[in-house]
A and B are shown apart, each in its own frame.
Chain A
């Protein structure tokens, strides 16, 4: 046990090639998917939170349901869609980083939307009334609302990133955890543990926990700013 830990630290310090590859695939996947989800989700969330229209509550219920979608179900759906017999089979996306990003976006997007919607709902009415009372234009009001959301957007991004980096069910199904190609930290930990190679697993676990710690510290700083 102790020697495994020592080896893990040694692997990190020596910048082991396979470890570095896993880290870079992980970074590529989680940064891309969380950014895409943020770019799509923030406007949708602000829109849902700041307007009233017919069918809105149904959209919110659907979003809440998607927020709780089990990752393996998401993995299953994309596996079927992109497998040889599926409608998108000829794209040959299965077991690539690309489809891992896609699956992750589908998992994270509802979280981004829900997170923004909840926040915006709380302030939109007052912001809009105040802006209208000052005779400000619709665009100016929208930018003001965006400005009010800056910290919320940052903390939502961090949350999305944290979800993405820690997710295992969907990415292992559609990515296949292929070494040097689609293996990310979480899937690699599973793999190495199954093979009895604990030290690489521990090394990855340590890194993952450290990232999670940093992200959560940042989130709590953001949250404190939001709560004024």
Chain B
């Protein structure tokens, strides 16, 4: 799967500059970087929500893209109906709700969920479908440790089974180490380092990456 080079400028400031890239099916790519480094902007551009400076397609139009925003939204209906917005597949819904431990909330009004519960519901909703490229913007940021671990396993399983490319935006180095095959490290809108996680997360070449790793405890 090829991604064309693109950039995004806000108010005259270039917040994201992306080189051309090639992604492989079934692999998990972690996108890491500090606050404001452009991770969400990258996600939104790829999801087709933001128009890029080049105003042209970044991805081939026959690639289906799923996206879960950084802030999960609960539609004004119960949890189950929210999940069914993704697709009407009853068996899949049951399985996902079980895996994400929200079965008991099925009939509850989605607006009344806690932050982490809303995130679990939103994740279940987007996983109801199969996409070629799935972009998740910090899906576990609001989740507790146990749910995070469940979610990580679920995501790895989802990728294996559907063969989709997963782009996982995350703040957690540990998470990137646990689930990613490859890692993109962003620094001030620039893709500073990318490649196998063994390389980027354990023995990076660039100074910015080394500093970032040090800051996060290693």
Contact = CB atoms under 8 A, between A and B. Distances in A.
A226 to B, nearest CB: 9
Contact of B111 (A127, A130, A144, A228): A228
B49 A132 contact: yes
Given A134-B129, A135-B129, A147-B75, A129 B69 contact: yes
Contacts of A228: 111-112
Interface of A: 126-130, 132-136, 144, 147-148, 150, 228
B195 interface: no
A148 B71 CA distance: 17
Nearest to A126: B73
A141 to B, nearest CB: 10
SS of A interface (majority): helix
A144 B49 contact: no
Interface of B: 44, 47-49, 64-69, 71-73, 75-77, 85-86, 111-112, 122, 125-126, 129, 131, 135
A171 to B, nearest CB: 37
Given A147-B75, A148-B75, A228-B112, A134 B66 contact: yes
A136 B122 CA distance: 14
Given A228-B111, A228-B112, A133 B68 contact: yes
Nearest to B134: A133
B75 A129 contact: no
Given A126-B73, A147-B76, A135 B47 contact: no
A132 B67 contact: yes
Closest 10 CB pairs of A and B: A133-B67, A130-B73, A228-B111, A126-B73, A129-B69, A129-B49, A148-B76, A134-B86, A133-B68, A132-B49
Contacts of B48: 132
Given A130-B122, A147-B76, 5 more contacts: A126-B73, A127-B73, A129-B44, A132-B48, A228-B112
